[in-house]
Amino acid sequence: MDSIKKTEIRKKNDKKELFLDQTLRPNTWNEYIGQENIKNNVFVLLEAAKERGHQPEHILFYGSPGLGKTTLAYLISKETGHQIKITSGPAIEKVGDLASILTNLSPGDILFIDEIHRLNKNIEEILYPAMESGTLDIIIGKGPSARTIQLELPPFTLIAATTRISMLSAPLRSRFSGGVFRLEFYSNEEIKDIIKRSASILDIEIKDEVALEIAKRSRFTPRTANFLLRRCRDFAQVSKKNLNENTVNKTLTMLGIDDIGLSQLDRQILENIIEKFKGGPVGLGTIAMALSEEAPTLEEVNEPYLIQLGLIERTPRGRVVTEKGYQHLKINYNKLL
Ligand code: ADP
């Protein structure tokens, strides 16, 4: 094969890889595995709005990264038959940015704001009347001659997502009249099904037990599962082997992921609390400083999984490593007490 052709294929594959998250995104409610409680609530909300001929009310989804919040917003837009406009808290820098987004909506549109906890407070206040009464208050001019004009907005549904619900102000939270829903971690069986679906889209042959092996190390999170599936496939391809338990183990060892899905950083967090802080309690900021990491990353990405596995506990005085956490690292629990 000539080199131009090869480069073209590589470019195509790179592009495919880049958009893989979108390729693997479920297109129907049936393909969206798990989160049954949220799906049922959203169905009722959408059906009731349809029957009354109203716009569905505003919804907030929260939970760890990669659990499927954005995907839900896409599915809702599909169900309503209206377009989805996507933005995020940090992308809306000025009041004018939000005003322009809102005034450019078409009737029935879904506006998705990701990472809404990072929305500036003065911008947040513009959102209140927009969400409540569909109006936009704009102040024209400065000082004594300033005046407010009110613009009527087209009916729209705001769907917001956050990984840090505690950072959302109570007034903003209360305006999600359609509901505030927490996405749960997935079971290993659900993750296994997600992996099997992704594998069939990507033309990868995978046995049930191999999919389950990847699932067990996927942090109960679909995005991680898809990422690990792709890395295992790469390893199998490059080493000219089949995708089996052996290649999965080798790939995950290479990635520094252990048999229960802990990354190197997860293990460092545990080790640090045990060795430097006698197992805790210790504040997250202190752990972050000791590891030269950012506290929000530890709180959003690492801590929820460690808590879910019962390896650390959150107490009012800080984080504490549990007996199970010591056992996982093979450190004697009593020795350090
Ligand atoms: P979030 O917005 O919570 O960070 P996403 O909605 O972007 O997460 O989901 C990340 C990826 O994980 C999606 O592209 C999709 O491939 C997969 N995914 C998420 N939830 C599910 C689910 N319930 N069923 C199947 N795949 C899912």
User: How sure is the predictor about 7, in pLDDT bands with cuts at 50, 70 and 90?
Assistant: very low
pTM, two decimal places? 0.90
- Size of the chain in residues: 337
| Residue 129 CA to ligand 1 centre (angstroms) | 31
> How far is CA 218 from each of CA 20, 34, 42, 261, 286, rounded to the nearest angstrom?
17, 15, 27, 6, 27
Whole-number Å distance between alpha carbons of 132 and 120: 19
The answer, yes or no, to whether any atom of ligand 1 lies below 6 A from the CB of 191, is no
**Residue ranges per structural domain of the chain:** 35-182, 188-254, 264-336
Mean pLDDT in the chain?
92
pLDDT at residue 258 in the model: 96
Which residues are known catalytic residues? 69-70, 114, 163, 223
80-84, 101-105, 139-143, 163-167, range with the lowest pLDDT: 139-143
pLDDT average, residue stretch 149-155: 94
* Mean pLDDT, rounded, for 329-335: 85
Residue 336 has pLDDT above 80, yes or no: no
Which residue's CA is minimally distant from atom 11 of ligand 1?
223
DSSP class per residue in 2-48? -HHHHHHHHHHHHHHHHTHHHHTS--STTTS-S-HHHHHHHHHHHHH
Residue 215 has pLDDT above 70, yes or no: yes
CATH fold of 35-182 reads: Rossmann fold (3.40.50)
Decide if pLDDT at 62 tops 70. Answer: yes
| Amino acid letter, residue 69 | K
Domain 264-336 listed as CATH 3.20.20.70: no
Q: Say how many Å lie between the CA of residue 70 and the centre of ligand 1.
A: 7
Helix (H, G, I), strand (E, B) or coil at 224: helix
Query: Helix axis angle, 245-254 relative to 208-216, nearest 10°?
Result: 20
| Pocket flag, ligand 1, residue 280 (CB < 6 Å) | no
> Does the pLDDT value for residue 276 go beyond 90?
yes
The predicted pLDDT at position 48 comes to: 97
Q: What is the per-residue pLDDT across 73-119, written as a single tens digit (0 to 9) for each?
A: 999 999 999 999 999 999 999 999 999 999 999 999 999 999 999 99
Q: Is the CB of 222 under 6 A from ligand 1?
A: yes
Answer yes or no: is the C-beta of 223 below 6 A from any ligand 1 atom. yes
Q: Which residue stretches of 239-308 are H helix?
A: 245-254, 264-277, 284-290, 295-297, 303-308
- What distance in Å separates the CA atoms of residue 47 and residue 42, rounded to the nearest whole number? 8
* pLDDT tens-digit readout, 293-313: 999 999 999 999 999 999 999
Cβ of 82 closer than 6 Å to ligand 1, yes or no, is: no
Q: What is the pLDDT of residue 1?
A: 47
pLDDT-derived band at 148 (thresholds 50, 70, 90) equals confident
Query: Is 188-254's fold the same as 264-336's?
Result: no
Q: Domain 188-254 belongs to what architecture?
A: Orthogonal Bundle (1.10)
At 144 the pLDDT is 86
Question: What is the Å distance from ligand 1's center to 49 Cα?
Answer: 25
